[in-house]
Amino acid sequence: MADKRPQAVGTKQLENERFIVTEWRFPPGGETGWHRHEHDYVVVPQTDGNLEIETAEGGFVAPLKTGQSYARSIGVEHNVINANDYEFVFIEVETK
C-alpha cells in the first residue's frame, strides 16, 4: 500500500464580491487532492519548480517560474502534486 501524500495547505487571504485569493503551500510531495474549480482562476507562482498535474485524461509535469502567472477556466478537475524536494508556494486568484 502506497504512503498517503501530505496535504497542501490553502490560506484564504481575501474574499469579496468579486475575488477569492488563496495562498497554497505544498510540502515536498504534498498534494491538493482531486478537486473541481468553481471559478475561473489565475495562479501566481511564488517558487520555481515543478508541479505534477493529474487529470482524468492523464498526468503531466508543469514547470513553473516565480512570478510567471497562468490562467485556467471554470470546471478544471485535477490533483496538483509538488514534485520537488522543497516547499512550493503559489497564490491562486479566483474570479466570482
Domains of the chain plus CATH, in order, are 9-95 (2.60.120.10)
**pTM summary value:** 0.93
Q: In this structure, what are the phi and psi dihedrals at residue 77, rounded to the nearest 5 degrees? A: -120, 125
Give the pLDDT band (50/70/90) at residue 2: low
Q: What is the pLDDT of residue 1?
A: 46
Q: What is the pLDDT of residues 45-85, one digit of tens each?
A: 999 999 999 999 999 999 999 999 999 999 999 999 999 99
Q: Give the 3-state secondary structure of residue 87.
A: coil
